[in-house]
Amino acid sequence: MSANTIKTRPFDMANYLGSEEDVAEYLGQVLAEGDPAELAAALGDIARARGMTQLARDTGLSRESLYKSLSGERAPSTDTLFKVMKALGFELKVQLAKDRA
């Protein structure tokens, strides 16, 4: 290894979700995009920031299942999304889109 080598770590959004305001802003931006797989990945980031083990307890799902479902590689079932969102303390509200109001 040369003296000029810089060690880096992969970016992990979970490291930047330090407050509830950060979490709400992040989730709001992801929801605005409308991509189910991206939503799953964002919920995974939030779950890792808060603790996946506790989320597994709160949802009744295994940690392994949660890691797979919230990886962003696929869109999880609606049932899983609702369980995770409820356990993380989120609620969904419906409003007309700005271009429809």
Does residue 1 register a pLDDT over 60?
A: no
Largest CA distance in the chain: 60
Residue ranges of domains in the chain, CATH in brackets = 20-87 (1.10.260)
Nearest to 23 by CA among 55, 41, 51, 49: 49
Give pLDDT tens digits for 35-77: 999 999 999 999 999 999 999 999 999 999 999 999 999 889 9
User: pTM score, two decimals?
Assistant: 0.83
